[in-house]
Amino acid sequence: EAQVTQNPRYLITVTGKKLTVTCSQNMNHEYMSWYRQDPGLGLRQIYYSMNVEVTDKGDVPEGYKVSRKEKRNFPLILESPSPNQTSLYFCASSPGRDRDNEQFFGPGTRLTVL
């Protein structure tokens, strides 16, 4: 089944404790992206990657890192999480950047930073 998977689905952590949220897709998609969703603010793009070893900042990259060493994986790294990073996170992938391509979203990771 074609899908985007994320782990963990739920995470409660404390300020400053490094964490990684994994994202994997099995559709051989070139493009991958991370969004965060907050009440009243909608979904906002954090980082995106157009292919292996090619990443760039989205609208809200502060406090996050990403890597794209393999085509299928795009982990989101929080080196020193803070409470304002408490949010619902979604990973997405699509075949390419063309505007005629749909994006597939993962199930989400709900992160709480205390």
74 touches other proteins (CB under 8 A): no
Q: Least Å distance between CB 88 and other proteins? A: 6
**b/e burial code for range 15-51 (CB count within 10 A of at least 16 → b):** eeeebebebbbeeebbbbbbbbeeeeeeeeebbbbee
**Residues present in the chain in total:** 114
Which two structure tokens, joined as six digits, stand for 106? 């993962």
Residue from the set 21, 23, 24, 31 that interacts with other proteins by CB under 8 A: 31
Q: Which is nearer to other proteins, 59 or 79 (CB)?
A: 59
8 binds other proteins (CB under 8 A): no
Q: Does 97 bind other proteins (CB under 8 A)?
A: yes
